[in-house]
Structure 1
């Protein structure tokens, strides 16, 4: 009985060992034919290169292959000639790093944004004559009091046109006759205030608002000849406008005239940059010339002031003088008339 039990135990043990050995052999055969990312070491066989090895070891990480190759070369300097990935040494053992594949995250679906249209950056508070706008979509619209203006608008004024704009930063812009102006950018954002305007031609006067008062603000008034940066509050520009209109005079010159009425500005050209103070006027004939300080007469920037008619003071004084001269005559005439009234009527004597 004891012999039969021992034989049964030995048979079961032998069968278990045989199964274990078979499993080991199968696993060794599988790992010999295919590489995977869990294997830590392998020996380079003839005909293999780093690119084929990485392709087999990391099939689902194509975008990571370049970085994986660099990492294998760095971990195994003995297996590469002069650290060159293309010069692998046959028979050397490689340490294979375990690199996790990057999981692609699904992009977040953004909520639908309702388009509310462009935001107005100013509106018209005064208008005279012909004034209209071409939008960034080249759509034309006439401007009237209360009309809004937007970034990208190109504003035109006729020969007798004039428009005053109130901007979102409380700035005031007067675009005078026969002028063209483009609003390139106008933003009132904390830490990012911007005012970028192009005066293509004509005359403009601007009283600056809050944009330009902070150091990080961007304020630029571009013209074909120079750029004006503001450090002050009020200035006037006339550019490429030789013939006067709406009361301004002819200058017979298509250069740039700049006048500071209050505060400070910077005028920058291709040649230089100059700071201008209050009541200073500068002239630039060409973008390659230097800025000149000049004196200008009335009518260059604004309409010529017509002398007001004299008050009637002189007429009053003249009338008073005439009365003084006539008083003696009136007095004499009244006295003479009074004496004549007091004399009795004399009747002729009767003759008998």
Structure 2
């Protein structure tokens, strides 16, 4: 089972050389989820690597759990559409950024090192606004259709 998955991941490269190092990993998958990277779309699998600009989508009665390199965790609920816009975790250089977008669906966020070191560097964008992180955890829901 591992060999076919690893073979599929080899065919699913990051979009740019700068994104060669994964920024997150899919920890849990329940139901159906996909990861889109440029023109590529692959079924979400536990252990799968994520890169900047990846788009994750979940189906009905489905969820995904993601852990970022800084320890931040995001759980996506059913019928979610989520994009990792920017992730930089280089504390030794003072470079920190965590920007994601929830287009629809629900997420639960638990902060990691970026929020502890530079809370202003964390942004969760939705169609109606941006959530600036000042605490350690919260939940967001964006309805399927918005006014």
TM-score under structure 2 length normalisation: 0.81
Contact in 1 for aligned 2:87/2:98 (Cα 8 Å): yes
Number of residue pairs matched by the alignment: 129
Where structure 2 has 5 or more consecutive residues not aligned to the other structure, the ranges are 1-16
Task: Kindly report which structure 2 residues correspond to 1:260-279, keeping only aligned pairs within 5 A, or say none.
Answer: none
* Matches of 1:227 and 1:116, distance apart in 2: 26
Q: CA RMSD in A?
A: 1.8
Q: Which has the higher contact order (CA 8 A, sep 6+)?
A: 2
Equivalent residue for 2:115, pick from 204, 207, 212? 212
In structure 1, list runs of 5 or more residues that go unmatched. 1-114, 242-253, 256-285, 287-352
User: Aligned pair in 2 of structure 1 residues 224, 128: CA closer, same or farther (>3 Å)?
Assistant: same
Determine which of 86, 103, 107 is the counterpart of 1:185: 86
1:300-311 equivalence runs, <5 A: none
The higher radius of gyration belongs to 1
Superposition deviation, residue 132 in structure 1: 0.5
SS at match of 1:212: helix
Quote how far apart the aligned CAs of 1:215 are.
4.0
Structure 2 partner of 1:146: 47
Higher-helix-fraction structure: 1
1:130 equivalenced with 2:32 (yes/no): yes
CA distance in 1, matches of 2:54, 2:142: 20
Aligned counterparts, 1:157-196, within 5 A: 157-190=58-91, 191-196=94-99
CA shift in 2, pair 1:216/1:138, >3 Å: same
Higher strand share: 2
2:104 corresponds, among 201, 207, 210, to 201
Q: Secondary structure at the match of 2:123?
A: strand
Normalising by structure 1, report the TM-score.
0.35
> Distance between the aligned counterparts of 1:118 and 1:236, measured in 2?
30
1:71-99 deviation per Cα after TM superposition (whole angstroms, max 9, x unaligned): xxxxxxxxxxxxxxxxxxxxxxxxxxxxx
Q: Distance in 1 between matches of 2:134 and 2:102?
A: 19
Indicate whether 1:119 and 2:21 are aligned.
Answer: yes
Shift of 1:216: 7.2
Please give the secondary structure, in 2, of the residue aligned with 1:169. Answer: coil
